[in-house]
Structures are given as structure tokens and as C-alpha cells.
Chains A and B, each alone.
Chain A
Amino acid sequence: AQSVTQLDSQVPVFEEAPVELRCNYSSSVSVYLFWYVQYPNQGLQLLLKYLSGSTLVKGINGFEAEFNKSQTSFHLRKPSVHISDTAEYFCAVSDSAGGYQKVTFGTGTKLQVIP
């Protein structure tokens, strides 16, 4: 069975400061990893994904994430946040077993950017 743990439910950070949102996963098979962003009263949007290859993945809006297999982590980072980054962020894992291709979401981390 696969699972995703987002260690922080809320992360306050001052504008222009760096931020890291943590995500740890468990899975018995090869995984694909995703970060989604949800702005208030909207659906989730794909921020970035790791499928294979380079462990450092760059996404939209200046975000990046690093896949660390030994630590089973996929932390999301941004060197300098803006007010517009205030949103909830979800980490997700999908295994590569065929058919259903189950996707499991974390419980989310609310990023609050303080002016």
C-alpha cells in the first residue's frame, strides 16, 4: 500500500523568504510523484511531477522539488515566495502498477505568505 505524509499542516513565511514544504511517501513499487496547488475556491492545479530521470524537478511559478529515494521524500521548495503563492499545496504519489493506477494524496499544507 502507498501513503503520503505532509508533515506540516500550515506554514507561515514572510514575503521574499525561501520556503520548503515537506512530503514523505511510502510505496512498495516504483512511484510517480506530484505536487498540486489549490487556490481558494478552486480545483487543484498540477505544479510539477517526477516520473523518472533527474531527481530535481522544476515546475511552474518558480517552484522545484527534489526526489530523494533513500529518504523517500519529495520536498517542494521556492527560493523567494510572493503573496500570490498563498494557497494549499498537496503532495501525491501514484504507483506504476497497471490498471487502476492508484493515486494517493497527502492531507495538504497551507502556505501563508505574510507581507
Chain B
Amino acid sequence: IAGITQAPTSQILAAGRRMTLRCTQDMRHNAMYWYRQDLGLGLRLIHYSNTAGTTGKGEVPDGYSVSRANTDDFPLTLASAVPSQTSVYFCASRELGQGNYGYTFGSGTRLTVV
């Protein structure tokens, strides 16, 4: 593979359940991001990580958590899903300190919370 792999591609989840969205990159980028995309709102940053072992909050972090145990993986966890978390989730990465190149995005996870 080359790029970012997200899993699952889609999921229907009962409210109150716990869910982890997986994201793996093979480009050795130091920075990784989770965005949610909602109609009319564009992309909003949930959490980010500038390097392995560090994470930070984005615009809409409530109800989500992340970890960055190594360079390649950046899972996003919904501890107790609610219907407002129905969205398309995109993982992205880029190499900081290299002329501010743009992101590489995964293909997304479509999550429906019922």
C-alpha cells in the first residue's frame, strides 16, 4: 500500500456503543489528523498529532479520543457514540517542516450512529 488506509469503510453503530476507527499510513509522515466532514460545514479538525507520543485537540474534540503510540497508526475512539457523531471521518497526514506540503487523505469512514 502507499498512502493512508482507513478501516472500516462504513459502519452502522448503536448509540452508546464504543467504536475505534483505524488509520495507518506508510509514508513515515510525522503529523497525522482526524477530520469529520458534514454537509455544509466542510471539514472540521477533531484531533491531531505532530509526532509519535503527542496529541492535541482540534476544533471539535468532545466525545473523541486519540492515541499515537507509533509513527504509522493514529486510531480515533468514540467512547460512547451519539447520533450527532454521524459523519464521514477522514484521516490525513503530512510531513511538517518540509515546506508545508499539503495533506495526504485516506478514503474515509462513513459512520452512522442510530
Contacts and interface: CB of A to CB of B under 8 A. Distances in A.
Interface of A: 9, 32, 34, 36, 41-46, 49, 51, 90, 92, 94, 96, 99-103, 105-108
A3 to B, nearest CB: 11
Contacts of A46: 102-104
Contacts of B41: 107
Given A42-B107, A44-B90, A100-B48, A107 B40 contact: yes
Given A43-B90, A44-B90, A103 B103 contact: yes
B99 interface: yes
Interface of B: 4, 35, 40-45, 48, 50, 56, 90, 92, 96, 99-108
Contacts of A100: 48, 50, 56
B100 A51 contact: yes
A94 B100 contact: yes
24 contacts: A32-B100, A36-B103, A36-B105, A41-B108, A42-B107, A42-B108, A43-B90, A43-B92, A44-B43, A44-B92, A44-B103, A45-B105, A46-B102, A49-B101, A51-B99, A90-B43, A92-B102, A94-B100, A100-B56, A102-B45, A105-B44, A106-B42, A107-B40, A107-B41
